[in-house]
Amino acid sequence: MKNVSISLKKMVLRLRIGKSLSREDLAALLESGGENADFLRCQADALRQEVMGNRVHLRGLIEFSNHCERNCLYCGLRRGNTSLERYRLSGEEVFQVARTAVTLGYQTVVLQSGEDSQVSADDLARIVRRLKRELDLAVTLCVGERDYEEYALWRREGADRYLLKHETADPAIYRRLHPDMIWNRRTQRLAWLRKLGYQVGSGCMVGLPGQDAWSLAGDLIFLRTLDVEMAGIGPFVPHPATPLGNTPGGDVEMTLNAVALSRLLLPQVHLPATTALGSIHPRGRQMALQAGANVVMPNLTPKPYRRLYEIYPDKICLDDDPSHCRQCIQGIITSLGRRVADDPGHSPKLVFHKAMP
């Protein structure tokens, strides 16, 4: 890599030793291409190996309801999309899917849905309790903005982690894309989740309309400030049945740079190679796993429902069943010289705290 620019190399190496960078520098790194980008991603990959090791964690994703009361401009589940057929799994169905997950070797499931108030806090609490007691799974929830008491109840039932992406930390873009949501409510909830002792995940999309490298650098700084345990970063993929159907989607290169920089800024973070990236590039997930990512979230949603969870179009794995995806992912991971992790993959920060006297 003889053509790597000296100033870029300096910036990356500063991050590598835990020093901070200005927002301008982060924006410049996000825009790097060619051998500069290779260098950035290689350094992130090396840091991932050093801090998180060779193992890739699998999280089984159960998309249990595609009902959503929000109207985010980018998302196919928005309430304004009346052409989408809606479904909601029963508690028993979720449990059966999770049981299959256990037989396939999963130790974590992620329960995800749109913002669906018809799923009561008690309903979800009962599901969490069963998954913990009967299957001993690590449970991650991703059901959007709810009240403090609801988050607290699920935590008491044993929910381990919560994903609430911030989507964009740019106030003007946030306002434009979320007609019925308020930025301060989002950050308030992220603070609650932290206070309740969840392992907290957040994250953003790359390539949202109006977002440039400077704006995206703000997202990375936001994630670092929150000191999240998990960060999901994927490209925006335009959905034809939304108001953003005709806008360009996020860029593969910029997304990979954002993944790499997240690793450098948050060495211990769990970083998924997102399905969205795998959906816009045939090697998207592989490339992310070689740019700092250490997690994959294969889909466990039962087949008839799978294609109805259409956040964005052309999602991968729509016709594949959970055991096929499990094999496929295993193949991808071993082809990269990596191994599937054999533990539930709690945050190393937490494991460290637990080990303290």
Residue count of the chain: 357
Shortest Cβ 331–ligand FES spacing (Å)? 8
Residue 89 interacts with ligand FES (CB under 6 A): yes or no: no
The C-alpha R_g of the chain, in whole angstroms, comes to 19
Tell me the window of 12-20, 100-108, 231-239, 334-342 that interacts with ligand 5AD (CB under 6 A): 231-239
- DSSP assigned state of 88: B
Partner in contact with 98, chosen from ligand SF4, ligand 5AD, ligand FES, none, beta carbon below 5 to 8 Å by kind? none
Tell me the window of 32-40, 103-111, 178-186, 230-238 that interacts with ligand 5AD (CB under 6 A): 230-238
Partner in contact with 267, chosen from ligand SF4, ligand FES, ligand 5AD, none, beta carbon below 5 to 8 Å by kind? none
Tokens describing residue 249: 């989607």
Residue 173 interacts with ligand SF4 (CB under 6 A): yes or no: no
Shortest Cβ 188–ligand 5AD spacing (Å)? 17
Strand order in the sheet with 108-113: 60-65, 108-113, 138-142, 161-163, 199-206, 230-235
Shortest Cβ 191–ligand SF4 spacing (Å)? 19
DSSP assignment of 317-331 equals TTT--HHHHHHHHHH
- Nearest-angstrom CA–CA distance, 312 and 310: 5
Residue 232 interacts with ligand FES (CB under 6 A): yes or no: no
258-297 residues in contact with ligand 5AD (CB under 6 A) are 276
Give the CA distances from residue 246 to residues 84, 175, 240, 280, in Å, rounded to whole numbers and listed in that order.
19, 20, 7, 16
Residue 236 interacts with ligand 5AD (CB under 6 A): yes or no: yes
Residue with tokens 């592989």: 286
Residue 226 interacts with ligand SF4 (CB under 6 A): yes or no: no
Residue 204 interacts with ligand SF4 (CB under 6 A): yes or no: no
Which parts of 20-137 are beta strand (E)? 55-58, 60-65, 108-113
Sign of CA dihedral 284, 286, 292, 294: positive
Task: Compute how many other C-beta atoms are within 10 angstroms of the C-beta atom of residue 38.
Answer: 15
Shortest Cβ 131–ligand FES spacing (Å)? 22
What are the residues whose beta carbons fall under 8 Å from the beta carbon of 240, sequence distance 6 or more?
313
Residue 269 interacts with ligand FES (CB under 6 A): yes or no: no
Residue 47 interacts with ligand FES (CB under 6 A): yes or no: no
- Nearest-angstrom CA–CA distance, 101 and 62: 10
Residue 170 interacts with ligand SF4 (CB under 6 A): yes or no: no
Residue 189 interacts with ligand SF4 (CB under 6 A): yes or no: no
Can you give the binding site for ligand FES, defined by CB under 6 A?
298, 317, 320, 324-325, 328-329
Can you give the binding site for ligand 5AD, defined by CB under 6 A?
74-75, 165, 167, 205, 234, 236-237, 239, 276, 311-312
